Structure 1
Amino acid sequence: MALQDKYAELIQAANAAGVENLSTAEKDGVLHISGTAKSTADYDALWALYDKIDPNMASGDLMMNIDIKADAGAQLKVTTDSTNLNIRSTPSTDGAIVGKAAHNEVVTLVEKTDDSWWKIKTADGEEGYAYAQYLSPM
């Protein structure tokens, strides 16, 4: 089975979600999919679909590099289930907690440190790193 066929549902979902600059290319037995999702929900849905097609990503035949659209200065909503989001001194769970952002609070993106950690600033001026999974562009 060609990789484009195996992951056709994922590619269709990315198109339907409006992933910007969507690119697919096969090289050396690996399908590379990249682009920019409009929201954290779209990003999470694509990863969940990938896990459905290839449980635990065991095949090793897909490299998905989907970013989330958000630029410095963008307003982000804290999307924890119901708890506060820890703001840390460094982009790691080892970093000291320097503040908290409440569930549904709006914060400002300072910079995307990497795919997992973003530097944010609260309305109260608390600044530090938060886990990007719990931040959604507005």
Structure 2
Amino acid sequence: MALQDKYAELIQAANTIGVADLAIAEKDGILHVSGTANTIADSDALWAIFNKIDPDMASGDLLLSIDVKAEAGAQLKVTTDASNLNIRSTPSTEGTIVGKAAHHEIVTLVEKTDDSWWKIKTKDGEEGYAFAQYLSPL
């Protein structure tokens, strides 16, 4: 089975949700899919499809590199279900809680530390790391 056929659902979903700069290329038996999603939820949806097609990513035949649109200085909305978002001293759940951002509060992106943790700043000046899953670019 051709890799683009195997991952057709993922490719279709990336097109449907509007992944910008979507690039698809096959090299040395690995399908490379990259681009920029508008939200973490969109990125998470693509990863969920990947895991459905290839549980635990065991076959090693896809390299999925989906960034999320946001640059330093961008305004982000806290998208927790209802609770406050913890802001930590380090990019880890082990980091000390140094502040909180309220549900639906707008914060400023300081830097994308990695795909999971972003450094943010609240309107009150609290600065630290928050779990990126609960932040969406405006």
Q: Which residue does the alignment assign to 2:46?
A: 46
CA distance in 1, matches of 2:88, 2:39: 23
Give percent identity, aligned residues only: 78
Q: Which residue does the alignment assign to 1:76?
A: 76
Give 1:46 deviation, angstroms: 1.0
Aligned partner of residue 95 in structure 1, secondary structure? coil
Q: CA RMSD in A?
A: 1.1
Q: Which residue does the alignment assign to 2:37?
A: 37
Aligned partner of residue 124 in structure 1, secondary structure? coil
Q: Which residue does the alignment assign to 2:17?
A: 17
Aligned partners of 2:40 and 2:68 also within 8 Å: yes
Q: Which residue does the alignment assign to 1:59?
A: 59
Matched, 1:92 2:92: yes
- Matched length: 138
Give 1:100 deviation, angstroms: 0.8
Aligned partner of residue 71 in structure 2, secondary structure? coil
Structure 2, unaligned stretches of length 5 or more? none
CA distance in 1, matches of 2:117, 2:41: 17
Give 1:60 deviation, angstroms: 1.7
Query: Under a length normalisation based on structure 1, what TM-score does the superposition of the two structures give?
Result: 0.94
CA distance in 1, matches of 2:53, 2:82: 30
